[in-house]
Chain A
Amino acid sequence: MRDEPLVYELSRAGRKGCSLPKPDVPEYAVPEDLAREGLDLPELDELTVVRHFTRLSQKNFSIDTEFYPLGSCTMKYNPKVNEVAASNPGWRNLHPLVGDEYAQGALELMWRLQEGLREVGGFAAVSLQPAAGAHGELSGVLMIRAALRERGAHARKKMLIPDSAHGTNPASCTMAGFVTQTIPSGPDGNIDMAALRAALDETVAGIMITNPNTLGLFERNIEEICRLVHEAGGYVYGDGANMNALTGIFKPGNSGIDVMHFNLHKTFSTPHGGGGPGAGMVAANKTLAPYLPGPVAVKNGDGYTLEMPPKSIGRVKAFHGNFGVLVRAYSYLLMTGANGLRRVAENAVLNANYLKSLVEDVYPVPYKRNCMHEFVAKGTIADGVHTLDIAKRLIDYGFHPPTIYFPLIVQEALMIEPTETESKETLDLYADALKKIAMEAVAQPELLHDAPHNAPVARLDEVMAARRPILCYRG
């Protein structure tokens, strides 16, 4: 594939990709002390813009073009109807400050989505404010902080985090003023209960649990964990990153979790967009619901209003959440429904177990249990070959690599999440590729070391990028 120049390199003086109507009012001079001279933006005609960004798009792997089994990221099909639903001018042209009476349709959609998510999670109330999973986590731990302070438990500063957790969990705790203590996993891949008991003292604020955890395993002791943490005076935060394994099968709220976020861009199929925007709604039981971030949509008779929960931690962003993402999630919820949500979990888990059974003879799976929606295998297939090499070689076979080197507790980890929307045929092809790569690793390891061979670029020098950063165009 040929190099695509930067927009600045395509620029030619005097060109413009879009024109405005002729001015219909007199000109007013910008005062001299405020006026800006010059503006170094590129100048392109419309067709050049179209070709440029179309060509750039063709340098991406995406769900629409390739199988994309990134562990914990839930790269499942994002139905096109959701895009149509979200592009309605009634949403696109709706100003956030029009006032409740002029936005009844939007508030009703928010309320219905809140109600639906509340039912799926088994919680008392939901806020759609957070803009991402990590943003939901921050909201949740701030809620725990607020509840502790109201109890006068200011000294409870310790948040327990399993060693398999996402990096956002400890980082969110730091932003909420907590200190973290890592709880190791036991030989079965679940939280080590003895270590948990030992950590539960009078300084404990709570625990953050991802269930199923990042090994793709259900925390079998979830009820016991919640009971112990509550008895010790702490709260339980649930990280819902992996909720597509459980919809319609298990409600986290029933197991004792106090507050939890769902990633609507994972479980509810809104597109990842090359990094966002997501939506990280947060749900809570009766105890913590008053602290939810706001505003939230409330039904009053036949109408809807936006209101702050009584003891709210406040706003976590301007306006009312990533509304455009919420429309897509609501569209998905409508079309999937109760029956469909259960099938989501069944197919996610079936696909993962099927794929695991195809490759585990070649790629060792450290925990011998049924997995949920994903599994972690090891890239220890030949001397001198690493997980990174396997990942890059998969690109040559037309597949996006799995998540690699995570979770940190498995060496040479390959974290594979096929998702519920993939067919058996795709899973078979992927397993075949993994097996072929394992043979190549022995017979022709340089094929792996030099991979990818067919991508727009070869392996990039990331060390140089960080040592001598070039962060914008310097023409």
Chain B
Amino acid sequence: MLKAVGASSVEEFFSDIPEHLRIKGLDLSDGVSEIEALNEIDSLAERNVQTKKMDWFLGAGAYYGYIPAVVPTLAGRGEFLTAYTPYQPEVSQGTLQAIFEYQSMAAKLLGMPVVNASHYDGATALAEAVLMAWKAKENRNRILLPVDLHPEYSQVIATYCTSFNIEFVQYEGAPESAPVDEDTAAIVIAYPSFSGEVYPIKRAVDRAHEMGALCIVHADPLMCAIMKSPGEQGADIVAAEGQSLGNPLNFGGPYLGIMGTTEALVRRMPGRIVGETKDKVGKRGFVLTLSTREQHIRREKAVSNICSNQGLTMLQTCIYLATLGKQGLREVAKQSYDKAHYAAGLIGGTAGYHVRSSQFFREFLVETPKPAARIVKTLSRRGIMPGLALSRYYPDRPNELLICVTEMNTRAQIERLAVALKEASK
């Protein structure tokens, strides 16, 4: 090969690099075999606690749910796994049709006319939604945020918006009591809130619209299988974390940022979108579309710098929704709901514990008789992960525990949790 190029050594190709900057080698070990690499990685993996080996009640934005066997099997096919962004549609119809199907199913679930091909995660989707709404309301500068929003989501919004002069105002409690006014570009509603409370949002949405503001809903997409969707209650933009729809926990990523909007706002929405069209003989096909919003066409005038979607996690969710379907998804949601309410009943009846949430889906807040962090520690030694001690984010709230129950939890596990909590209160 060198001869064909007319070079005497590979070194010649690097002659443009100033000689004093060319290094001799890296201060790393040399490569190892497959056996050694897997042994090394497996030994690291063993040093983590696993949901499956405990009674697991920790959620808080990342959920332990069942993933049907077909999901990873199909999504792991090399033809999906090792394809690039579908810029050449004729040889990417598999990816493109799957995105279109995901967009269609996610749109129905959220009740929105349009869902895009996805963002990095729920937090970045929400941050992008805030920027989108702020830009859409040119003469308004205020964004209302709920106090009870996932703290990490609030932090991501702060990072994303730091360069713009946006005024953030926090509101407490029901969104319909939020101070929406003529300077408000948008109100963000958490559906449910971080601590699990589900407020009906229709009245808040109507009020926002009366004042000329947009309404952004951060939704739990699984909850939407049995509770009113944000779309049917009038939301303008929806951001959601799709991890619990068929993606493993993976220590926090990769997850799935679901984003949907109305037809009126679609050309302002950041993120890839797939549309249906025809080829020259009239056969149906799919393409990336509305790309004049995007960085590779508009460069500095693009609506965002985003240049990818969460292809594989989106595909997992697409296959998950298709597999469970209309009945199955409602069953997963309803079982989670029933089990969570059963757990709340037991724990609420335990001396020293008070359930603080009134309407909730699968996660509820409990006031504990002793510091929640200590209870977590005690119970995890017994093989129970009872939830999130809120002191992780709020040091001034030591006695609050956020408990999550999913379709994975059995009645026996729930009863063990209640007994263990009772014992821990002594």
Contacts and interface: CB of A to CB of B under 8 A. Distances in A.
Contacts of B369: none
Q: By DSSP majority rule, is chain A's interface helix, strand, loop, or mixed? A: loop
A127 B75 CA distance: 29
A198 interface: no
Interface in A26-64: 26-28, 30-31, 33-36, 39-44, 46, 49-50, 52-54, 56-64
B22 interface: yes
Most buried by B among A23, A95, A315, A350: A95
A106 B81 contact: no
B307 A134 contact: yes
Contacts of B118: 276
Given A131-B124, A273-B312, A464 B278 contact: yes
Nearest to B45: A90
Nearest to B52: A93
Contacts of A137: 305
A93 B329 contact: no
Given A61-B92, A276-B310, A35 B227 contact: yes
Given A18-B68, A41-B325, A167-B296, A472 B120 contact: no
Given A41-B109, A325-B253, A469 B328 contact: no
Contacts of B97: 4, 6, 56, 59
Contacts of A68: 82, 84
B295 A167 contact: yes
Interface string B130-160: 0100000000000000000010110110111
**Category for how many chain A residues contact B:** 35 or more
A108 B44 contact: yes
Nearest to A17: B323
B27 A338 contact: yes
B299 A94 contact: no
A444 interface: no
A142 B305 CA distance: 13
B95 A274 contact: yes
Interface in A121-142: 131-135, 137-138, 142
Given A39-B326, A276-B254, A70 B84 contact: yes
From A19, A135, A167, A176, residue with most partner B Cβ within 10 Å? A167
B152 A17 contact: no
B206 interface: no
Given A20-B328, A49-B70, A57 B77 contact: yes
A178 B163 CA distance: 9
18 contacts: A7-B105, A17-B322, A25-B339, A41-B321, A46-B70, A50-B73, A94-B48, A95-B58, A105-B48, A145-B162, A167-B302, A274-B83, A322-B253, A323-B251, A341-B26, A350-B1, A358-B4, A466-B275
Given A274-B311, A466-B291, 10 more contacts: A75-B84, A95-B62, A171-B299, A272-B311, A274-B92, A318-B150, A319-B252, A458-B90, A459-B280, A471-B115
